[in-house]
Structure 1
């Protein structure tokens, strides 16, 4: 039997696909802790060498680019966060954590969150359900052993979300996900129309350093926006979030943002944010816990 094309689907079919994972009730609170007008949740995906390894790239060039993230980028990020007294969330593939266990300890010692980001930054939409589940459970066990506490949140590698990701997230007992894009503000995830109790802390490519600053030597991907222009976009995002009384969430990568000119631009952005006296800095886990308490 020939598989139907999407234009041939009946309403029951396309509704089933749309409703599998859906945005539920908004979880934006009436107020943020301490009377803050805006919540700021900074995050860093510490991918390091796992991007080339995932694709079977084992030669030194690509691996060195990833190694920069741990050797140079992450320490710079930690120093900047300490300067501004900002807690952040570090989403770390388990293989990256195994390669750099001291980095995990540094995150924890500085009061930051360590959360799930796959096993080897795998493309979960190309995995069968059993493999996706096994890698997720293995990653959670690894981060728990290295960080000393079990992770409570997940950001899927590349923000990919298979038909089985939400079920695995629920099985792991996680409190939040940060991979989807249905809102600017936190919301509850629905599974086939039913509330799950899992908080979505939404991401967006606009608020990610990779689309602006990545470089592929033999591909068409090139940095096309100067770092200070990127910071200008993010500044506008923050200002609008503050005006709305909402959440400003940002996704960065130590091997991308950690270079000197880019850290200068990030510093300017944090100067702008920190110049307001009504900001609540929080990890993604703290945001998830707070909005659930207020709902």
Structure 2
């Protein structure tokens, strides 16, 4: 079990429990996801439909694992438990919301086919059986591998009238699976329990006034060893005014409509600071002149460069200003963009951001002679100084194409940092001082080229020149911009793929690195597009939620370089 400080403290003692919820996209399933997250659990939400949850803050989202799968397919549910274990470890609690078809509800019985009847009234039992079967197998496997019992594994099954087939579930799951599993789970684990929650949700007199949240709170109660460790094999019926055992031997749980019956979790403690470096490469037309030059480039290609400057830049500025981080970003601007689009670049400078260099015509270092490389750098320094009134201190190589002579020039002209290399992915480092890599000449004997990388004999690095990491996995353009003549271009990747990739990177870095940085690189060509900018805004808003938790700070790239250099050179 992971450190309790990573989550919230639950009144029910549920913190850090791994909860697997089937049917999570339904009304009850969605409320169950929210309820268990509120109690500090790690939640795997399993369904074949997308889960729509609003108001889930960043800390809770870090404990949510969304899985798409078919609960009626055994291979799918088995794979779901494997993926859940890979993400959050062994599953402790299973919440079963049976799947059901509605075809029988829309026809009178004389018009129903046998197949419709089977789908409607057997599918719920099938999905529940498969979920319970494979949950118990994961318990067995955990205990065999660990050599000890899992701490009080618990199953809670939801039973509505439609899954039961009769009012109050009297022909439902708790007279079949419930009674069978109650006995058999004890053979596997001395504290194992299974219970059910029956509800009408407004479809009958006893269901009037019941909400999915009422059902979810009852689920949390039954799942809790602290609150209900003595209860097994029971079906709790949730009614508008109260809940009682379906056997009517007790009326133990009272649920008020006006307020939750179970206190919410307490706020978690703060963790170490993550410094977010939001940067924008304003390539515009220059992107087609240097690294993306090609004899087949046409007017339509250049047109995307005009879009970047005249549409993408204003959109990004409005979005960053709305999020109150416009002055905490760094824009790397090629000299060609600054001279070709002065009005747009003026608005960028007026936002209060940092300005860094990015070549003149987005040329790669390997396209230039050393003399050309010096001339370009000097010219771009002059352009930036005229724009901002101060000498630029940061540099990002176009397409990350820099060489040893580039770093020599940055040292010579007193630059503070470069943002083009990835010796590390979430910590700055001093710029390396290495001889050029020697290509292998395979026409020569192997003994002539089998040797390790050579380090500089004079100094291990170029301190105080700092490298702030950045590469293709931290940017938008490569996966989401179609560049016809670029080998790595894609352009038709769903923005949610990249959003999830970035979130996964952030969450792993947050849990495993001390005082890390998190670079996010945008291009107006790409992030300025209507189908992309909304994702970027969601991502940055999500990071700002971590800022409100005290875990994130947005900084200009130069500020990050100076912070790290001061820390390292004390």
The two structures have a TM-score, normalised by structure 2, of: 0.44
Structure 1, unaligned runs of 5 or more: 1-34
SS at structure 2 position matched to 1:61: helix
Pair 1:274-2:510 in alignment: no
Shift of 1:109: 1.5
Give me the whole-angstrom Cα distance separating, in 2, the residues matched to 1:218 and 1:104: 28
Look up the SS of the partner of 2:302 in the other structure. Answer: helix
**Aligned residue number for residue 24 of structure 1:** none
CA RMSD in angstroms comes to 2.0
CA distance in 2, matches of 1:175, 1:163: 16
Question: Using the alignment, how far apart are the partners of 1:218 and 1:138 within structure 2?
Answer: 29
Distance 1:261 1:101 in 2: 27
CA–CA distance in 1 between the matches of 2:370 and 2:486? 31
Q: In the TM superposition, what is the alpha-carbon distance from 1:104 to its structure 2 partner?
A: 2.5
Equivalent of 1:51 in 278, 282, 287: 287
Give every structure 1 segment of 4 or more consecutive aligned residues whose post-TM-superposition deviation is greater than 6 Å. none
Q: CA offsets, 1:16-43, max 9 Å, x none?
A: xxxxxxxxxxxxxxxxxxx962100011
TM-score between the two structures when normalised by the length of structure 1: 0.83
Aligned counterpart in structure 1 of residue 310 of structure 2, from 51, 71, 91? 71
Q: What is the CA-CA distance between 1:261 and the residue it aligns to?
A: 1.3
| Residue-by-residue CA offset, 1:55-85 (whole Å, 9 max, x unaligned) | 2778532221101111111111111111111
CA distance in 1, matches of 2:509, 2:302: 37
Higher helix share: 1
Measure, in 2, the Cα distance between the counterparts of 1:157 and 1:68: 19
Cα deviation for residue 241 of structure 1 reads 2.8
Task: Give me the whole-angstrom Cα distance separating, in 2, the residues matched to 1:36 and 1:194.
Answer: 28
Q: How does 1:129-208 map to 2 (within 5 A)?
A: 129-184=370-425, 185-191=427-433, 192=456, 193-208=460-475
Partner residue, 1:228: 496
1:251 CA displacement: 1.4
Q: Deviations over 1:204-262 (max 9, x none)?
A: 21111122112134676432420121111111122223332311001111111111110
- 1:152–1:175: 8 Å Cα contact kept in structure 2? yes
Q: CA deviation at 1:153?
A: 0.4
Provide the residue aligned with 1:249 in structure 2: 519
Structure 1 contact 107–113 (Cα < 8 Å) conserved:
no
The equivalent of 2:535 in structure 1 is: 265
d(CA) in 1 for partners of 2:272 and 2:351?
23
* Max Rg structure: 2
5+ residue gaps, structure 2: 1-270, 434-455
How many angstroms does 1:89 deviate by? 0.6
Length, aligned pairs only: 262
- Which of 341, 351, 356 is matched with 1:115 structurally? 356
